[in-house]
Structure 1
Amino acid sequence: MSDVLLELPPSLRSELKEPMGRLYTDADALLADAGTPLVAVGDIVTYHLLEAGTVPRLALVDERTKRSAVDSEVTAAISGFDRRITVENPAGTLTRALLDAMREALDGEATTLLDVEGEEDLAALPAVLAVPEDGAVVYGQPDEGMVLVTPDDAARERVRSLLSRMDGDADAALAAVR
């Protein structure tokens, strides 16, 4: 069992439905506005970025979308990364293994696919803190498109606030992604 650092309480779920950045339906338009390194959270987002010709520095996938298995063509198309790492991260949580793998991937130059056993949805939050100022985080907004988050002070403060109100050890989680 992975070391769960944070767990999402039901009281915060509604706050996570509000996009943390600009919403896009076109991957090329998003990429024109995105910084580097680029972090992609989610199978469908990763698929669209790869189809647009960009391999993110870090992509997190769990082979699921909206709680259902992604199409085999999506899974097959998610390739081209320098390395692939499998981490455990149960639904509604952030584990030390996930955060450590994110930090390691962003500290290096290689492109990394994190194959998450469990769920990667909450990884967008620590990614906003882990990515450098000139980077970007992209995650899916179900049935709407892709959200591009620029890690500016406002976005980072919102993430810190959300993480600090989750159940568990927020200090350890924040330290893992700094």
Structure 2
Amino acid sequence: MTRDDARDTDTENGNADGDEQLLVLPDDLRHELKEPMGPIETEADRLLAEVEGPVIAVGDVVTYHLLQAGHRPAVALVDERTEREAVDEEIRQAVTTGASIEVRNPPAELSAPVVRALRRALAADEPTTVLVEGEEDLVALPAIVAAPEGASVVYGQPGEGMVHVKVTDDHRAEMRDLLERFEGDVDRFWDLLESESDDD
């Protein structure tokens, strides 16, 4: 599937915001975010045995391993890259097939379109794949805040495996504190992430 096949961009807003920048990762937070936010698992089957609610997968390789284990995530965010290199064609095809939302999100940022896409995907009745042009890594943070209680957010830890975060109030509070320390329009970010309407 090509990007054109999957294209459902920020069209509900006429893409008027373009790549509207909301938050930028400051240099002093980069080291903190390298620490895993939950236990690391190398086997998808073992990870899935600990899952009790919907799974939000952030990253191509993570999504691929979950699919290979027979589990389609409720939400998958992929960018066709891993550790800044293009993923293998087998992985790319597996994780982008059925992608229904495409957005841009520059590296080390959280843009308005990707926040909207996350909210739309979480609200969807069917499993939803968001294809990100740019980088999807940081979306794990707002995903933990916005995911329902009991959900699991799974993302890749380079060279180690898959980090499994079971969403709790404590995890949400921790992610809120981190996101508040980003640079940019924090108020606008929270408005978009937590608004009840898609017409913001």
Pick the TM interval, shorter chain: over 0.9
TM-score by length of 2: 0.85
Shift of 1:150: 1.1
- 2:114 is aligned to 98
- 2:14 is aligned to none
- 2:177 is aligned to 161
In structure 2, distance between residues paired with 1:151 and 1:176:
20
- Residue 189 of structure 2 corresponds to residue 173 of structure 1: yes
In structure 1, distance between residues paired with 2:23 and 2:138:
10
- 2:159 is aligned to 143
- One-letter amino acid matched to 1:146: M
- Residue 101 of structure 2 corresponds to residue 85 of structure 1: yes
Q: Which moved more, 1:60-69 or 1:30-39?
A: 30-39
Task: Tell me the SS of whatever aligns to 1:28.
Answer: helix
Give runs of aligned pairs for residues 8-157 of structure 1, distance below 5 A: 8-78=25-95, 81=98, 83-157=99-173
TM-score by length of 1: 0.95
In structure 1, distance between residues paired with 2:40 and 2:58:
14
Task: Tell me the SS of whatever aligns to 2:144.
Answer: helix
In structure 2, distance between residues paired with 1:116 and 1:150:
24
Q: Is contact 1:55-1:80 (8 Å) kept? A: no
In structure 2, distance between residues paired with 1:123 and 1:74:
20
Task: Tell me the SS of whatever aligns to 1:101.
Answer: helix
Q: Is contact 1:89-1:98 (8 Å) kept? A: yes
In structure 1, distance between residues paired with 2:150 and 2:166:
8
- One-letter amino acid matched to 1:134: G
Q: Is contact 2:61-2:156 (8 Å) kept? A: yes
Q: Is contact 2:78-2:96 (8 Å) kept? A: no
Shift of 1:174: 2.4
Shift of 1:176: 2.3
- 2:197 is aligned to none
Shift of 1:105: 1.1
The CA RMSD over aligned residues, in Å, is 1.2
Shift of 1:84: 1.6
Shift of 1:79: 5.1
- One-letter amino acid matched to 2:69: A
In structure 2, distance between residues paired with 1:79 and 1:2:
21
Task: Tell me the SS of whatever aligns to 1:78.
Answer: helix
**Alignment gaps of 5+ in structure 1:** none
In structure 1, distance between residues paired with 2:79 and 2:154:
15
Higher Rg of the two aligned structures: 2
